Amino acid sequence: MKLKINLTLVTLWCLSVGSTVNAQNVNVAKALAPAEKQVEILLKNSVKVIASEPKYIAPRTLENNQLKLVIGKDWTSGFFSGMLWYLYELTKDPKWLEPAKEFTQKLAPQQFNTGTHDLGFMIYCSYGNGYRLTNDTSYKSVIIQAAKSLSKRFNPVAGVIRSWDHNADKWQFPVIIDNMMNLELLFEATKLTGDSSFYKIAVSHANTTLKNHFREDYSSFHVVDYDPATGAVKWKGTAQGYSDPSAWARGQAWALYGYTLCYRETKDIAYLKQAEGIAKFILRNPTLPADKVPYWDYNDPQIPNSPRDASAAAITASGLYELSGYSKEGKSYRKTADQILNSLIKNYTSNAGTNDGFILAHSTGHKPAKSEIDVPIIYADYYYLEALKRSKGGK
């Protein structure tokens, strides 16, 4: 009798573990069909707006239920062209090729933009994917020039790349955790040119951020302000999270993804350990809902009456898929990524024909500023498509 009870307990334990990590594979083809239809609508609507207002180059979100497009220097300007490249890759349908090229070309002037740290988002998500899929040498030159422009924001004393130029009354040399995502552009430039200076800047930034941005539990501050003359840390806090010591959900996703790609490019085990630690913080967080789509900030006291952030979930899923290929916990990471992606597919996608063609709903951009709360946002769609691609294998 005792043996039977123990076996029953073991069986129940196994079932409970299985329920927390959905082992069901992602049906990419089934998810892709409605996504394609949505992006067709988004493309049509965006082209219409651009025809009447040519200063705009790409969609970003819905603002008061109206489609909002952005100009080239907006940090989100490269995601839509990146989505078009992913659809071309995933579907093999040539109908996506020309719009992908067209919207990528609109970003060409940004390769010379030295006023932003977001050139990785703007240029690598667009030209990077385009070059990977076409080997167009003109794309290669844009990537290299963008890396040169980004490198000009590096301070060798502090060892990091400056993020923002605004609000000089608040900080001197601010660096945000999001900036980890732009290092991929620099790693790629070294591979394309053989110039290791890009690589060294990326590694310096990653190492300094690892040292100064993280708490003992692997959660990250959003902003760290440096003294550009001495490199000393002056302040740690947030601009988009709930509070200075809180863990802003998208920031944790950027960190997970960023250190995973740094491990890919350097094979430095410190980066793998960091990515695994961040994953542990995210996935074992007591405020993470059962469907693994986080609230906008893990420390918001209004949870569960607080908005979710589907963009953070999509970024996390994509990062976990890649991390699963490097870590001893890979099988668990992949199962969790599958669960996140299946949750997004089932409960966070727009109803057919709604939201002006955005794929995902329920993202949160900047809650403290009361901006983009519980709306579709273009980078959520980008990383959702990337996660779909990665669920099939590869980075």
2 in any annotated domain: no
Identify whether the C-beta of residue 104 lies closer than 8 Å to the C-beta of residue 97: no
Identify whether the C-beta of residue 173 lies closer than 8 Å to the C-beta of residue 225: yes
Is 238 one of the annotated binding-site residues?
yes
Is 132 one of the annotated binding-site residues?
no
45 in any annotated domain: yes
226 in any annotated domain: yes
Say whether 178 is catalytic. Answer: yes
5 in any annotated domain: no
Q: Residue 268: give the domain boundaries.
A: 27-391
321 in any annotated domain: yes
Per-residue model confidence as pLDDT tens for the chain (395 residues):
333 333 333 333 333 333 334 346 999 999 999 999 999 999 999 999 999 999 999 999 999 999 999 999 999 999 999 999 999 999 999 999 999 999 999 999 999 999 999 999 999 999 999 999 999 999 999 999 999 999 999 999 999 999 999 988 899 999 999 999 999 999 999 999 999 999 999 999 999 999 999 999 999 999 999 999 999 999 999 999 999 999 999 999 999 999 999 999 999 999 999 999 999 999 999 999 999 999 999 999 999 999 999 999 999 999 999 999 999 999 999 999 999 999 999 999 999 999 999 999 999 999 999 999 999 999 999 999 999 999 998 67
How far apart (Å, rounded) are the C-alpha atoms in residues 125 and 142?
Answer: 12
How many H-runs (helices) and E-runs (strands) does the chain carry?
14, 9
How far apart (Å, rounded) are the C-alpha atoms in residues 144 and 147?
Answer: 5
* DSSP H or E stretch at residue 169: none
pLDDT of residue 393: 84
Q: Any alpha helices (H) in the chain, and if so which ranges?
A: 2-20, 28-52, 79-91, 97-105, 119, 129-134, 137-151, 183-193, 196-212, 249-266, 269-283, 310-323, 330-347, 378-391
Global confidence as pTM: 0.94
Is 118 one of the annotated binding-site residues?
yes
pLDDT of residue 136: 97
- What would the pLDDT profile of 159-203 be if each residue is shown by its tens digit? 999 999 998 889 999 999 999 999 999 999 999 999 999 999 999
Among 323, 326, 206, 218, CA closest to 278: 218
- What would the pLDDT profile of 74-86 be if each residue is shown by its tens digit? 999 999 999 999 9
pLDDT of residue 23: 46
How far apart (Å, rounded) are the C-alpha atoms in residues 159 and 392?
Answer: 37
Identify whether the C-beta of residue 296 lies closer than 8 Å to the C-beta of residue 248: yes
DSSP state of 25: P
3 in any annotated domain: no
Q: CA dist 277 to 56, 297, 314, Å?
A: 40, 18, 19
128 in any annotated domain: yes
Q: Residue 148 corresponds to which tokens in the numbers above?
A: 């040169």
3-state helix, strand, coil in the chain (%, to 5): 55, 10, 30
Among 371, 380, 256, 223, CA closest to 309: 380
pLDDT of residue 362: 98
281 in any annotated domain: yes
In the set 118, 297, 309, 381, the catalytic residue is 118
Say whether 309 is catalytic. Answer: no
What CATH number is given to the structural domain containing 123? 1.50.10.10
Identify whether the C-beta of residue 165 lies closer than 8 Å to the C-beta of residue 181: no
In the set 74, 165, 178, 338, the catalytic residue is 178
